[in-house]
Amino acid sequence: MWQPNKLEAERVERITELEARGIDPFPRRVRRTHSAAQAIAAYEAAEPAGAEAAQSTAVIVCGRVRRVNLKGKISFMHIEDESGRVQLMLRVNDLGEATYDLIKDKLIDTDDFVEAAGTMMRTKAGEISVLVREFTLLAKSLSPLPVVKQQVQDDGTVVEYGEFSDVEQRYRQRYADLAVNREVRDVFLKRAQVLRAIRRFMDNEGFLEVETPVLQPVYGGAAARPFTTHHNQLKQDLYLRISFELYLKRLLVGGYDAVYEIGRDFRNEGVSFKHNPEFTMMEFYKAYIDYTGVMDITERMLASVARDVLGGTQIVYQGQTIELAPSWTRLTMREAIRQFAEIDYMDYPDAASLEAAIRANGDSVAPGLPWGKLVGHLFETHVESKLIQPTFIIDYPRDISPFAKKVDYDDLHVERFEFYIAGMEMGNAFTELNDPRDQEQRFIEMAKLYKTGADDETPLDEDYLRAMRYGMPPNGGWGMGIDRLVMLLTDQRTIRDVLLYPHLREEK
């Protein structure tokens, strides 16, 4: 039940007063002809032909009132729509007493939506404005938005006074955050541009965009704990997907050469500045290439997206300049760890000796981890955060990579890479395993390695094996966290700032 505070109660009273004056605070019809930016552009376009021509530019603009400057018988307002702001000049002589009194009696609040019909002009101070002849309330605001005043400096930069910065409130009430903080709106505009740029690139590369089930009877394709749910009528337990991998690769069996999907994954794990329980994943699978071909696509894709969205391949993330243009550094996992941790894990080819070596090196590590996880631990503690420029880390331990083909030079590694930018893992890819007998063996090994019910249990997917038995072309597969890419391209420090509604606990 809504308990209006004092400021809100004042606005509720104004609705009563408006209605008493015969004014509908939430009318149905709107007559907008120009966005704020279009109105200003129309004036600028007409100006070279002379002031008289420019001042005959008739517009009807609509937007949210962001500033009211009531000074007696003349008033100024700034209204804002998605395109930007435009100033209204309102005079009692032009509007008539009855309409002007709405402003004078303060029945129009900051945050209300209004419509203004008039002609364009330039004020003495030089601001292009609408000289308003008809002024209409479009929608009343009952709760005041946080006050953020802006001053435009001579050099065009905007200085803000007052702010809405409490992160909890910003996330819980994202609508207020967006309404008040222009730069937040810009992040999500850019996010949409990133997705468009990716799809454009994939189209040009000949990929087919597909959609596969979110509700899966058997989850798989990644090491993560799933969310579970239940279909009542079918009496069937289901999992929210943790990856698209197994469903997409079945499509290569079906005869598509190159497919991709962009969609939501769900992982029932910790929340952090780079983890949200639901996040946007992209995966692609392409027949007749191996992981070197996938690396090639990765470099070209990110460079292309950066060019489309930012106009160039050089970006600045949290103060660090990063060059996304090909070719990126390629480093084997073994070489990377040798460089940064000064351990050659191949000197310790079993879990027991590697664990001892890690301890001797001064690191603490959970006891009893499989060999591949120990290698991963070394990588995460010593290497990951140092990979600022785009880097492919290639050739991963076999025992933590159940869907990748073995390398040709030993039995411990597979053709897998992850790519890192700004110290963050951005994605993961393999030369995909397509031998059904080997794949079945890997499922069995994983089951031995990770107990049933463990966070990263990899259940055996019989139908996936059945598909593979029909023959799967050799292929390269790839996955990338879209949210992290958006963080990178919009210079945001946390995943919460690139998600419109990041996950929060229930409000009490």
Partner RNA sequence: GGCCCUGUAGCUCAACGGCAGAGCAGUUGACUCUUAAUCAAUUGGUUGUAGGUUCAAAUCCUACCAGGGUCACCA
Residue 362 tokens read as 């001064």
Task: Closer to RNA by CB, 88 or 309: give it.
Answer: 88
Task: Closer to RNA by CB, 129 or 490: give it.
Answer: 129
Which residues in the 478-507 window bind RNA by CB under 7 A?
A: 481, 483, 494, 496, 502, 504-507
Smallest gap, in angstroms, from Cβ of residue 59 to RNA?
17
Task: Closer to RNA by CB, 121 or 325: give it.
Answer: 121
Could you tell me if 90 and 77 are in contact, meaning their C-beta atoms sit under 8 angstroms apart? yes
Q: Which residues pair with 215 in a beta bridge?
A: 240
Which stretch, 2-10, 112-120, 197-205, 295-303, contacts RNA (CB under 7 A)? 2-10
Which stretch, 50-58, 103-111, 285-293, 322-330, contacts RNA (CB under 7 A)? 103-111
Cα–Cα distance, 191 to 487 (Å, whole number): 9
Cα–Cα distance, 421 to 484 (Å, whole number): 10
Which residues in the 274-303 window bind RNA by CB under 7 A?
A: 274-277, 279
Cα–Cα distance, 464 to 267 (Å, whole number): 21
Smallest gap, in angstroms, from Cβ of residue 147 to RNA?
4
Among 151, 232, 233, 452, the residue binding RNA under the rule CB under 7 A is 151
Cα–Cα distance, 40 to 220 (Å, whole number): 54
If one asks whether residue 444 binds RNA (CB under 7 A), the answer comes out as no
Cα–Cα distance, 443 to 440 (Å, whole number): 5
> DSSP letter string over 166-183?
-HHHHHHTHHHHHHH-HH
Among 47, 257, 269, 308, the residue binding RNA under the rule CB under 7 A is 269
**β-pair type (475-481, 424-431):** antiparallel
Among 59, 132, 223, 262, the residue binding RNA under the rule CB under 7 A is 223
Between 392 and 431, how does the x/- string for binding to RNA read (CB under 7 A)? --------------------------x------x--x---
If one asks whether residue 338 binds RNA (CB under 7 A), the answer comes out as no
Smallest gap, in angstroms, from Cβ of residue 493 to RNA?
7
If one asks whether residue 453 binds RNA (CB under 7 A), the answer comes out as no
If one asks whether residue 92 binds RNA (CB under 7 A), the answer comes out as yes
Residue 145 tokens read as 């938005």
How many residues bind RNA, per CB under 7 A?
78
Which residues in the 35-74 window bind RNA by CB under 7 A?
A: 67-74
Q: Is residue 469 classed as helix, strand or coil in its secondary structure? A: helix
- Picking from 327, 240, 332, 247, the residue whose alpha carbon sits closest to that of residue 284 is 247
> DSSP letter string over 28-94?
S-------HHHHHHHHHHHGGG-HHHHHT-EEEEEEEEEEEEEETTEEEEEEEETTEEEEEEEEHHH
Between 68 and 87, how does the x/- string for binding to RNA read (CB under 7 A)? xxxxxxx-x-x--------x
Task: Closer to RNA by CB, 325 or 388: give it.
Answer: 388
If one asks whether residue 206 binds RNA (CB under 7 A), the answer comes out as no
Among 5, 204, 314, 329, the residue binding RNA under the rule CB under 7 A is 5
**β-pair type (208-209, 258-266):** parallel
Length of the chain: 508
Which residues in the 353-382 window bind RNA by CB under 7 A?
A: 366, 373, 380
Could you tell me if 296 and 358 are in contact, meaning their C-beta atoms sit under 8 angstroms apart? no
Q: Cβ of 434: how many Cβ atoms within 10 Å?
A: 19
If one asks whether residue 6 binds RNA (CB under 7 A), the answer comes out as yes
Among 96, 162, 217, 254, the residue binding RNA under the rule CB under 7 A is 162
Which stretch, 20-28, 32-40, 120-128, 329-337, contacts RNA (CB under 7 A)? 120-128
Contacts of 233 (CB under 8 A, 6+ apart): none
If one asks whether residue 149 binds RNA (CB under 7 A), the answer comes out as yes
Which stretch, 182-190, 264-272, 290-298, 469-477, contacts RNA (CB under 7 A)? 264-272
Among 33, 56, 165, 339, the residue binding RNA under the rule CB under 7 A is 165
* Angle 182-301-501 from CA coordinates, rounded to 5°: 35
Among 169, 314, 320, 321, the residue binding RNA under the rule CB under 7 A is 169
